[in-house]
Amino acid sequence: MNRGFRDDLLLAAGSEAALWTLFLYAVLTIVAPPIFYVVSLLLAPAPRKKLRVKLMPFESGQAPIPTRAAPFPIEYFPYIIIYVAYAVIAVIAFIVVLDMISASQNILRGLIILIVLTFASIYASSLLPSLKQRLERGRTG
pTM, rounded to two decimals: 0.34
Cβ(95)–Cβ(113) below 8 Å: no
Angle, vertex CA 14, rays to CA 10 and CA 15, nearest 5: 120
What is the distance between the alpha carbons of residues 106 and 89, in angstroms, rounded to a whole number?
20
**21-26 contacts: CB < 8 A, separation 24 or more?**
21/94, 21/97, 21/98, 21/101, 25/90, 25/94
Domain ranges across the chain: 1-30, 72-141
Over residues 20-58, the pLDDT tens digits come to: 888 888 888 899 889 999 998 898 887 777 777 677 766
Over residues 107-125, the pLDDT tens digits come to: 777 777 778 877 887 887 7
Tell me, what's the pLDDT at 38? 92
Overall average pLDDT of the 85-101 stretch? 77
Tell me, what's the pLDDT at 52? 74
